[in-house]
A and B are shown apart, each in its own frame.
Chain A
Amino acid sequence: MNETTVARLAAAVKRYGPLTALDGVDLAVRRGELLALLGPNGAGKSTSIGLLLGLIRPDAGRAQLFGLDPQRIEARRRIGVMLQSANLPATLRVGELLRLTMSYYPNPRGFDETATLAGIADLLLRPYGKLSGGQQRRVQFALALCGRPELLFLDEPTVSMDIDARQKLWAAMRALVAEGCAVVLTTHYLEEAEALAQRVVVLDKGRVLSEGSVDDLRKRVALTRIRCVSDLDADAIATWPNVATAVREDGHLRIATAQAEAVVRRLLDADPALAELEVQRAGLAEAFTELTRETVAEQEAA
């Protein structure tokens, strides 16, 4: 195993009865990077994390954590975990939960420091069961980072958080990465991956669809969005060369194209009254939709 790799799946296969959840996935998490794991529901994100945490065993291939079997406690002492759902004991106070989790680690972060970093300093005396969903997620985040981990697994961490709490969590994640902590993040919010990730792995139906930086992923889908107010017929524009799609929505014309300059020129020529022109590069969301749609099309063709 490479010195800079902290966790890895090698040709990992996991089946649940007739369903193949992971179909030969290779994945390497490098020291100090924030890796976002994206994909629709059922793509294999949680299965991948389960394998890396040693919660489930691969049917074929290997899962390694710091070069060890993930079930070895020596490996797990170097990670922090925030799972998608965990009903922590409702009658324990937040501070008690934090101290308990700290006790599992050889060299945990300080109590106050953890509470400040996760933004739960005002919750320490409250029973966990009395907190709101967003506050509970913040507590779970505190438990994930309290052990001074070298690798942090965050499975959908910002679900049910308000915008302010989400921004704070992003800031905390950035601070951790700046310390040299690697993070594996799964999320449904593409803007989250876009804002935080150095590398993005897109999974679908148990396979890796794409791997690279956010920019690489965007480049794979070289589409640009054009939006304007015009009386031109959307169906006619859809037949123009280089136009991927053209639709009319809420009185606006929306066009996706790989050749924005040529299409804009032709639009302006065709409709001198065209107004409110906007041209925008595709975001991760479009790239992602495009990528996963390709596989659906391929499979339907096959």
Chain B
Amino acid sequence: MNAVTIPATPSAAVSAMPLRRVLGAYLAEARSECLRYLRAPGFMLPIVLFPTLFYLMFGIAMGKSEGPDIARYLLASYGVFGVMSPGLFGFGASLAIERDGGLLTLKRALPMPPGAYLLGKMLMAMGAAALVILLLLGLALGVAHVVLAPAQVAALLATGVLGVLPFCAMGMFVGTLIKGQGAPGLLNLIYLPMSFLSGLWIPLPMLPKALQQIAPVWPSYHLDRLALAAVGMEQGAAWPHLLVLLGFSAVFLALATRRLRRFG
């Protein structure tokens, strides 16, 4: 073992960090977050498989008799369904488990630049959302022969990649409420009923009147409106839905950061 000498530098110079290295740390953190989940089939498979299988069964196999609009409609709805889970689980469940396992504590003790950990998780969730949308688009265009303009494809992809963010904020809040393995269970209790009540599984007009009326309470309802608009099935103005989703993200982000600061 070789002894190594540390040059006696003045302490100010030691702790100064060039901007390039700080940015490099953000990049390294994001890369690690993406890599570790890409390599975890227990995490990636459910996220990718559920929406694509549902779409194959209900949108394509069973929807054939109903005409091409069903495949187009369900592309948007299952897209939203598929985008919610990387946000809720990729962000929320992993945060809860890592708070429990001591990883977050270690990261807070290490000189990781502020927010790099959460930013990394956010990028990972956005990447997973993009993957789900691309797979569904592949099925819709290739198997169901849904006709979409390139602009519509791009709009749906953007809706998915940005639409994951409110659910990241929500997952983050839940991840700060409970620690450890209890989080996935609670998140499923939010995820599945909310998907149903927003008309992601069964189109809203087919649900009871009362459920239709409370649907605007759920963020997934608003994201679904935007996704339907992206594939040309919704004509109304987009901005009210955008505002609701923005407000929803801001509130949950604020609640979650407050809890993280207080309780770590």
Contact = CB atoms under 8 A, between A and B. Distances in A.
A and B co-occur in one complex? yes
Interface of A: 53-55, 66, 73-79, 81, 83-92, 96-97, 99-101, 103-107, 109, 113, 116-117, 127, 147-148, 150, 153, 171-172, 175, 178-181
B11 A78 contact: yes
Q: Pick the most buried of A79, A101, A179: most chain B CB atoms within 10 A of its CB.
A: A101
Contact of A92 (B21, B32, B112, B114): B32
Given A104-B113, A106-B14, A106-B18, A83 B105 contact: yes
Contacts of B6: 148, 150, 179-181
A100 B113 contact: no
Contacts, number: 117
Nearest to B26: A103
B145 interface: no
B104 to A, nearest CB: 9
B105 A99 contact: no
Contacts of B37: 91
Main secondary structure of the interface of A (DSSP, over half): loop
B3 interface: yes
A87 B1 contact: no
Contacts of B101: 85-87
Nearest to B97: A87
Q: Pick the most buried of B21, B40, B111: most chain A CB atoms within 10 A of its CB.
A: B111
A89 B32 contact: yes
A91 B39 contact: yes
11 contacts: A77-B111, A83-B105, A83-B109, A86-B102, A88-B106, A91-B36, A91-B39, A92-B36, A96-B32, A105-B111, A106-B17
B183 to A, nearest CB: 15
Contact of A76 (B18, B98, B110, B264): B110
Given A91-B36, A104-B112, A150-B14, A81 B106 contact: yes
Contacts of B1: 116-117, 171-172, 175
